[in-house]
Amino acid sequence: MSEARFLTESELPYCKGCGHSLVAQNTERALQKLRLDPLDVVLVTDIGCHGIIDKSFRTHTVHGLHGRAVALGAGVSAGMDDPARKVIVFIGDGGATIGMQHLIGAAHLGFNLTVVLHNNMLYGMTGGQPSEFTPLGFRTPTLPQGAGKAGYDICELMAAAGASFASRVIGLGDYSDTLAKAFGAKGFSLVEVMEICPSYGVKSNPGMKLARLVEEAGLAVKVFADRSDKSYRTPANEDARSLLGPELEVKARHAHSLERPLGIMLSGSAGEGVQSAAEMFARAAISAGLNATKKGSYPVTVGVGFSASEIIVSPEPILYTGSATPDVLIITSDDGLGYARAAAGRMKSGLLMIDGSLEPPESGAETVRLPLREKAGGRNSALHSLFHLVGRTGMFPLESLKEVFLADRMSEKIEIEKLLP
Amino acid sequence: MQPKTELNTTSFLDGSRLITEACVQAGADVFIGYPITPANLLYLYAGSRYPSMLAAPDEITTLQWMSGFAAAGRLPVTATSFPGYSLMAESINMAFMMELPMVIILVQRLGPATGTATCGAQGDLSVIQGTLSGGFSLPTLCISSVRDCWQLSVEAIRAAVRLRSPVVLLTSKEMVMTVLNFDTAQLGAIRPVEKPRYEGDGPYRPYAAGEDLVPPFLPVNQNRFQVRLTASTHDTHGILQSTAKEALNNTRRLQAKLEKNLAEYSFWELEEEKGAEVLLISYDVTAQAAREAVRELRGKGRKVSLLVPKTLLPVPPVYLEVAARYPRVVIAEENLSGQLRTLLFGAAGRKGLSGVNGMGKMISPEEIVQEVAGDE
């Protein structure tokens, strides 16, 4: 049986003496050794000279953005989720510099793919500027004085990040066995192929020999990792079920006395059940045949500072869910007072309920001081205050809020008598 | 006490829940994302609802992974807000060029930059409009009601597959985070979107399109025909071609396919009142305030018509045809510059055009009533 051809008949598109041609030829030989079909393979290429190889391959080809090919290849691999198919990512040292996080992440997660890193120690397509892989002292057209720092040892990095296989080769002659080993590894593998760019590297560093350069850079030519201990499997959610379950449903079983929409702001402290109390109140209102909306406000540090909730209840459908000035403002703590002071100032009428320990803010609303934190403690002050509100206004029966509370897990923590006004 | 209303049983939920459920029922099979306020709930629900959910380390990776999944025939969705979207921009260009179907849910919040994560806004229409280099339209549908969370999510999925393109589903903080009661019995059943594949005998060219200008799709995990996908200017084979005529024609086709099929994904609400001389236009969360304003105005005997555009990009011509019938047009949107106003009427505007604009707080029905009613 004749071997499958992975390269087309056309001439490879590289400068004379460029190692990229050898990468392509060695890749074909390695794939032939593994007896893969060309369409079992997806070749993902980055931006750079290496990336124009697509048209020379008979595999599927995907050519993306600069620095992102490893992430793109990871997506292709996880999307296929098929160990019988092979994703190979060609990337240069420039692209690897840009997308280093993608390399580390892919090695860490163990995506099933092989990165063939064409390291010619500079960005070749954009005029030869240095990359983070440029060795100490190596000169490039834009850095004629030579690099002041050693480059990355990507193989060490990949081995440390969890690669199944990582190896460095000198990009001369036949290194298809190493590539075949990498292509056959489970999980993430990487082969760094050391090259010198004949257009920029050789001219800037006359007389430099590749093997000696690599040795002087302290880059060992060896296998750094060879273990097949993990490979990525795309998560499959076997337990997915509808998000519109019966637990969301609220049955209207009570009556209400509300004739127009009412905006309520409940303002207290984080950790004192403001959001859950507001939600229970809204459900109780719905249970009384009203419409209700609820939204929360709190600082990014959700566990400290104020916690406020805006609720609208209305006999009519609610379209606009904003309420710049509430009809009812409840303040249960000092944090809550700080947040709600401006809203209180805007109120020209309505009701302001505030804990008795706090100095009421300036407001045109009827102000009522109540011991909101006393009977049920600070942690339950929000819910306790809403029981007060329902009892005081009679907008719907207390029974409605009681039922919602008793159906909630919170009822296991506090007796309902302590919450009643 | 008054008798019970006719509400009976409703569900207490947020828009994120409806969007997620609708996307999955429509056939989205993977969510990939990085959580960001105010899109967090969409991320949270994704973990338990999508057939697969991948937590990406950032938004560039998100879009790259999504593109890989799409190339493999999956239908990915993500959700983000402006800071994440801006990181995605180059990769969205890539996916547009490769013609990969996916949906990006963009939840608007107050900018610029990090701005205020927990404050809503409508500041990103111009960002979407400028996403694709060359002035190409990124198909964009915008949610303007609770019901839209359901219906437009399905339409976004359908458009992504139909057009072989990334599609933006635009919304904002209030629409996806506020919890409210909603009668889910109003929601229609969702039929999964069909994902057609090339079934010809070849040769297959990944960018050769028929009359509808949308090339038949084949994923990279099949052995029938070679697939080439590329972000660079390319011919119908997917081979990089610089500025060759065939390649430039292919690039032109990317816009032409959106315009040719626009009627299939054009959605809007139009409530015209006979004798009205004012057309009120609004979208996203402000459309809810506009609906209340219209109710109030009509209650006072003031005639007004309402247009709620839901397909924002490309702009369906009908919006301008409708607007041309009115001496006055008022556009309400929660940004300072009037982004929809500029999109529809350009920098020069038109006679009788005005806006209700603001930032940092929701635009209220009263503000809209005041502008529409004027001095009357």
**Chosen from A316, A319, A346, A408 to mutate, greatest number of chain B CBs within 10 A:** A319
3-state SS string for chain A = CCCCCCECCCCCCCCCCCHHHHHHHHHHHHHHHCCCCHHHEEEEECCCHHHHHHHHECCEEEECCCCCHHHHHHHHHHHHCCCCCEEEEEEEHHHHHHCHHHHHHHHHHCCCEEEEEEECCEECCCCCEECCCCCCCCCECCECCCCCCCCCCHHHHHHHHCCCEEEEEECCCCCHHHHHHHHHCCCEEEEEEECCCCCCHHHHCCCCCHHHHHHHCCCCCCEEEECCCCCCCCCCCCCCCCCCCHHHEEECCCCECCCCCEEEEEEEECCCCHHHHHHHHHHHHHHCCCEEEEEEECCCCCCCCEEEEEEEEECCCCCCCCCCCCCEEEECCHHHHHHHHHHHHHCCCCEEEEECCCCCCCCCCEEEEECCCCCCCHHHHHHHHHHHHHHHHCCCCHHHHHHHHHCCHHHHCCCHHHCCC
Give contacts of B118 with chain A, Cβ < 8 Å.
297-298, 300
C-alpha distance from B21 to closest chain A C-alpha (Å): 6
A59 touches chain B (CB under 8 A): yes
Has residue B48 got a pLDDT over 80? yes
A4 touches chain B (CB under 8 A): no
Q: What share of chain B is helix, strand, coil (3-state, %, to 5)?
A: 35, 20, 40
> How distant, in Å, are the alpha carbons of A2, A23, A47, A119, B7 from that of A99?
39, 21, 11, 14, 55
Sheet holding A366-370, edge to edge: A249-251, B9-14, B179-182, A291-297, A306-314, A262-269, A328-331, A351-355, A366-370
Q: Can you tell me the distance from the alpha carbon of A97 to that of A205, in angstroms, rounded to the nearest whole number?
A: 22
Q: Can you tell me the distance from the alpha carbon of A57 to that of A61, in angstroms, rounded to the nearest whole number?
A: 8
A38 touches chain B (CB under 8 A): yes
Neighbouring residues of B195: CB distance < 8 A, sequence distance ≥ 6: B27, B73, B75, B161, B217
Q: Is the CB of A63 less than 8 angstroms away from the CB of B232? A: yes
Positive/negative CA dihedral, B346, B352, B358, B362: negative
Tens digit of pLDDT for each residue in B111-164?
999 999 989 999 999 999 999 999 999 999 999 999 999 999 999 999 999 999
Give contacts of B184 with chain A, Cβ < 8 Å.
244, 248
Choose among B1, B45, B231: nearest Cβ to A65: B231
**Euclidean distance between the first and final Cα of chain B, in Å?**
38
Q: CA of A238: which chain B residue's CA is closest?
A: B51
The model's confidence at residue B375, banded by pLDDT at 50, 70 and 90, is: low
pLDDT of residue A304: 87
Residue A137's Cβ-count burial label (10 Å; 0-12, 13-18, 19+) is: middle
pLDDT of residue A297: 87
Phi, psi of A117 (to 5 degrees): -95, 110
Residue B233's Cβ-count burial label (10 Å; 0-12, 13-18, 19+) is: middle
Residues of chain A below pLDDT 70? 1
Give contacts of A237 with chain B, Cβ < 8 Å.
47-53
C-alpha radius of gyration, chain B, whole number:
21
Query: What residues of chain A, 285 to 324, have a C-beta less than 8 Å from chain B?
Result: 286, 288-295, 297-298, 300, 315, 318-322, 324
Give contacts of B224 with chain A, Cβ < 8 Å.
39
Give contacts of A249 with chain B, Cβ < 8 Å.
9-12
pLDDT of residue B4: 45
Phi, psi of B213 (to 5 degrees): 70, 5
Give contacts of B228 with chain A, Cβ < 8 Å.
54, 60-63
Q: Is the CB of B61 less than 8 angstroms away from the CB of A236? A: no
Give contacts of A288 with chain B, Cβ < 8 Å.
4
Give contacts of A234 with chain B, Cβ < 8 Å.
52, 54
C-alpha distance from A251 to closest chain B C-alpha (Å): 4
Give contacts of B294 with chain A, Cβ < 8 Å.
none
> How distant, in Å, are the alpha carbons of A35, B45, B104 from that of B75?
31, 17, 11
Q: Is the CB of B50 less than 8 angstroms away from the CB of A291? A: no
A169 touches chain B (CB under 8 A): no
A153: Cα separation from own chain's centroid: 27
Mean pLDDT of B29-50: 97
Neighbouring residues of B258: CB distance < 8 A, sequence distance ≥ 6: B136, B137, B139, B163, B165, B314
DSSP 3-state of B201: coil
* Closest among A185, A287, A266 to A228, alpha carbons compared: A185
Give contacts of A260 with chain B, Cβ < 8 Å.
none
Tens digit of pLDDT for each residue in B325-362?
999 999 999 999 999 999 999 999 999 999 999 999 99
pLDDT of residue B7: 54
Positive/negative CA dihedral, B283, B288, B289, B292: positive
* ipTM score over 0.85, yes or no: yes
Give contacts of A76 with chain B, Cβ < 8 Å.
68-69, 71-72, 220
Phi, psi of B325 (to 5 degrees): -85, -5
Query: What residues of chain A, 271 to 290, have a C-beta less than 8 Å from chain B?
Result: 279, 282-283, 286, 288-290
Choose among B8, B53, B221: nearest Cβ to A235: B53
Q: Can you tell me the distance from the alpha carbon of A161 to that of A111, in angstroms, rounded to the nearest whole number?
A: 12
Q: Is the CB of B64 less than 8 angstroms away from the CB of A71? A: yes
Q: Is the CB of A75 less than 8 angstroms away from the CB of B64? A: yes
The model's confidence at residue B3, banded by pLDDT at 50, 70 and 90, is: very low
Per-residue tokens: B308: 């709620």
Tens digit of pLDDT for each residue in B213-271?
999 999 999 999 999 999 999 999 999 998 999 999 999 999 999 999 999 999 999 99
Q: Is the CB of B364 less than 8 angstroms away from the CB of A320? A: yes
The model's confidence at residue B376, banded by pLDDT at 50, 70 and 90, is: low
pLDDT of residue A314: 97
Q: Can you tell me the distance from the alpha carbon of B121 to that of B363, in angstroms, rounded to the nearest whole number?
A: 10
Q: Is the CB of B48 less than 8 angstroms away from the CB of A54? A: no
Q: CA of A235: which chain B residue's CA is closest?
A: B52
Give contacts of B24 with chain A, Cβ < 8 Å.
240
* Closest among B341, B309, B322 to B279, alpha carbons compared: B322
Give contacts of A75 with chain B, Cβ < 8 Å.
32, 64-69, 71-72
Per-residue tokens: A76: 């292709």
Q: Can you tell me the distance from the alpha carbon of A105 to that of A158, in angstroms, rounded to the nearest whole number?
A: 10
Q: For residue B86, give the H/E element and its range.
A: helix B82-98
Q: Can you tell me the distance from the alpha carbon of B335 to that of B347, in angstroms, rounded to the nearest whole number?
A: 16
Neighbouring residues of B201: CB distance < 8 A, sequence distance ≥ 6: none
Choose among A59, A80, A320: nearest Cβ to B221: A80
Q: Is the CB of A80 less than 8 angstroms away from the CB of B51? A: no
Q: Is the CB of A77 less than 8 angstroms away from the CB of B230? A: no
Give contacts of A65 with chain B, Cβ < 8 Å.
64, 90-91, 94, 231
Q: CA of B225: which chain A residue's CA is closest?
A: A39
How many contacts, defined by CB atoms under 8 Å, are there between A and B?
245
Has residue B80 got a pLDDT over 80? yes
pLDDT of residue B301: 96
Give the pairing of strands B311-313 and B140-142.
antiparallel
Per-residue tokens: B192: 């999964």
Q: Can you tell me the distance from the alpha carbon of B179 to that of B174, in angstroms, rounded to the nearest whole number?
A: 9
Buried (b) or exposed (e) across B252-262, using 16+ Cβ within 10 A? ebbbebbebbb
Give, as one character, the DSSP assignment of residue B133. Answer: T
Q: CA of B64: which chain A residue's CA is closest?
A: A72
Q: Can you tell me the distance from the alpha carbon of A174 to that of B64, in angstroms, rounded to the nearest whole number?
A: 33
Q: Is the CB of A286 less than 8 angstroms away from the CB of B7? A: yes
Choose among B48, B181, B220: nearest Cβ to A292: B181
